[in-house]
Amino acid sequence: MKTFIAIFASLLIAVAVTAAEKTQAPESPAAQLQKRAAAEANLPLEKTIDLDNDVNMVFVYIPAGEFEMGSPATELKRDSYEDQHHVKLTKAFYMGKFEVTQLQYRAVLGVGKMMDFAGFDFPADSVSWYQASTFLNKLSEKTDMLFRLPTEAEWEYACRAGTVTPFYTGETINPDQANYNAAKLYGKGLKGDAKKRTTKVGSYPPNSFGLYDMPGNVWEWCSDRYSKKSYKIDSSVDPLGTGDSLSVVIRGGGWDSPPVDCRSASRDSRKSWRHLNDIGFRVVLEIDKKVKNNRDGG
C-alpha cells in the first residue's frame, strides 16, 4: 500500500511539473537572440569575476544589435530631447547583472566609504562619476580586463531588451516591479508606498536580458557627457556622447524618482563631482580587451 501511495505521489509531482513547464511563458525574442549570439561567439551567457575574499561580480552577455533609441512623440510625459532615432551597436559586451554593491565597492578599493543606506548587498550610493571611474580603473588593473561605464546608448539598449514600450515591463510600471517613488503614478499603473531608501540588489524581477534594477533603486552613471542635443549630433553607430559639458548622463531613475523618470528613454544628468544618495553605477566589461593591450592601442 505504501509503495502504491509513493508511486502515485511521484506521478502527481511529475504531472504538476509537466503542467508548470507547459504554462511557463515562452522565452522572449531578446533572450533567444542573447543565447544564440553568446553560443555563436563561444562565450558564456554569464561571466563571474572574482574580486577578493569570496566576493565576485556577475556579468551578463549583451549581444550587438540595432534599436530605436529615445521615445516616440506619442509616449506619455516624454521630454522633447528624447527624439527617437535609429542606433546600431556593433560590438557585444558584458554588463553587470546588478548595480555595484557596497561589498564589491569595498573589495575593489580596499577601503570603506560612507553610504547613506548601509548594507553589503545594497547598491553603492553617494558615488560621484569620478569615484566610479576610480573604482573601474582599479578593477581593470586588478584583473587586467577592461571595465568601464556603459554608454548611454548601451544602457538603453540593454534596459529595453527588445521592448519598444515606455518600460520593459510594458506601458507602465508597478510597485512590485521596481523600487521607485510608487506614491506617484504613470498611466494606468498601480499606486504604492514610497520606500524612501534603496533595496537589496536583485529584489525585483529582471528584464529579458537578465539584468536587475535597471529602473529604480539608484540612478546609474553613464560615460557620456550630457547634452539635450546629443541625439541630433551623435553618430548613429556606437554613439559615445562626447563633449565638454561638466554634466554626465544618468539613467534609470532612483528610489526617490517618480515612475516617469524610470522609463527606458528617460534621460537626466548631474555634475560629475556630485555624490548623491540616489546615484550609483553599473559596470560594463569589454570582451577580449585587456588593459595592457588597450594602453598599447590594441
Which domains are seen in the chain, by residue range?
24-295 (3.90.1580.10)
pLDDT of residue 110: 86
Whether pLDDT at 266 is above 70? yes
Per-residue pLDDT, averaged over 167-186, amounts to: 97
Whether pLDDT at 25 is above 50? yes
Interatomic CA distance for residues 242 and 223, integer angstroms: 9
pLDDT of residue 20: 36
Contact predicate 240/226, CB 8 Å: no
In sequence order, the 6+-apart residues with CB closer than 8 A to the CB of 17 are none
Contact predicate 98/58, CB 8 Å: yes
Contact predicate 96/284, CB 8 Å: yes
Cell numbers at 139, concatenated: 578593477
pLDDT of residue 15: 36
The region of weakest confidence among 170-184, 189-203, 228-242 is: 228-242
Helix axes 102-109, 129-143, angle to 10 degrees: 60
Q: How confident is the model at residue 293 (pLDDT cuts 50, 70, 90)?
A: low
Per-residue pLDDT, averaged over 17-24, amounts to: 40
The region of weakest confidence among 139-153, 158-172, 175-189, 228-242 is: 228-242
Beta strand extents in 143-235 (DSSP E only): 145-148, 219-225
Interatomic CA distance for residues 31 and 274, integer angstroms: 36
Fill in the DSSP letter of residue 226: P
Interatomic CA distance for residues 270 and 268, integer angstroms: 7
Per-residue pLDDT, averaged over 139-156, amounts to: 97
Q: Is the C-alpha dihedral spanning 238, 282, 97, 158 positive or negative?
A: negative
Q: How confident is the model at residue 13 (pLDDT cuts 50, 70, 90)?
A: very low
Q: Above pLDDT 90, what percent of the chain?
A: 81
